[in-house]
């Protein structure tokens, strides 16, 4: 790992009420990552936080599909879509950042999944794999070389963000203790971590960053 974080950014992915315990799409122990993220944010010169930010008629909501259940899969416009409970409806309390997350560190807040017909797990590209969120241009414009990723959920938005990051040529780091996953079906988080490693993403613990 490089000896300094000068050209690094931390991406804080979707640390929102709906993904934390008590939320509409709660991730087990999702709140456990908050002290970790709050602590490491102080180490980074740049922080970008994302919010899943859906309209009520979003295609990812099972409630918007006839005779479909949560966790079913459908194909919309040629793109496979997992169906979720209604979550992170733009402007709702569930879409707010989790209350203990220290928002003062954020340089940029990026909202994604805002189009009714298209979901966006990655913070870089929407799920059609071509529609850019603009984040790559922002980071490249700042001369960022190293991208650290943490947040919710390991096996969805964190995973797709990290995979796009490495494909875009950034040195990419998955901060394992700053993330938790949905893990449905069981084993999905483990597979996501394996796939990230195989793609050249470094798996790091926040403790390794404390001394940088």
Active site residues: 14, 112, 157
Number of residues that bind ligand VGL (CB under 6 A): 9
Binder among 26, 52, 86, 126 for ligand VGL (CB under 6 A):
52
Picked from ligand VGL, Zn ion, none, the partner binding residue 14 (CB below 5 to 8 A depending on kind) is: ligand VGL
Q: Could you tell me where the DSSP H helices lie in the chain?
A: 34-41, 135-141, 159-167, 188-198, 206-209
Rounded to whole angstroms, the Cα distance separating 56 from 95 reads 12
Under rule CB under 6 A, residue 153 binds ligand VGL = yes
Under rule CB under 6 A, residue 124 binds ligand VGL = no
Under rule CB under 6 A, residue 59 binds ligand VGL = no
Structural tokens at position 178: 């700053």
Rounded to whole angstroms, the Cα distance separating 206 from 38 reads 11
Binder among 5, 11, 14, 172 for ligand VGL (CB under 6 A):
14
Rounded to whole angstroms, the Cα distance separating 159 from 165 reads 10
Binder among 52, 126, 146, 164 for Zn ion (CB under 5 A):
52
Distance of CA 138 to the CA centre of its chain: 17
* Contacting range for ligand VGL; rule: CB under 6 A; set: 40-48, 61-69, 123-131, 149-157: 149-157
Rounded to whole angstroms, the Cα distance separating 69 from 11 reads 31
């Amino acid at each position: 790992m490089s000896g300094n974080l000068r050209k690094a950014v931390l991406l804080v992915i979707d640390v929102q009420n709906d993904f934390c315990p008590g939320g509409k799409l709660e991730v087990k122990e999702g709140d456990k990552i908050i002290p970790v993220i709050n602590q490491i944010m102080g180490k980074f010169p740049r922080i970008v936080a994302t919010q899943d930010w859906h309209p009520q008629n979003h295609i990812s909501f099972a409630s918007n599909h006839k005779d479909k259940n949560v966790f079913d899969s459908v194909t919309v416009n040629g793109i496979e879509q997992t169906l979720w409970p209604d979550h992170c409806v733009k402007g709702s309390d569930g879409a707010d950042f989790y209350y203990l997350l220290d928002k003062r560190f954020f340089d940029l807040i990026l909202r994604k999944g805002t189009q009714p017909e298209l979901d966006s797990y990655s913070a870089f590209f929407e799920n059609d794999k071509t529609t850019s969120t603009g984040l790559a241009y922002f980071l490249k414009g700042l001369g960022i070389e190293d991208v650290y990723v943490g947040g919710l959920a390991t096996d969805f938005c964190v995973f797709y963000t990290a995979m796009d990051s490495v494909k875009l040529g950034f040195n990419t780091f998955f901060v394992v203790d700053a993330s938790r996953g949905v893990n449905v079906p069981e084993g999905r988080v483990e597979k996501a971590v394996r796939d990230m490693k195989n793609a050249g993403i470094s798996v790091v613990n926040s403790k390794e960053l404390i001394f940088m």
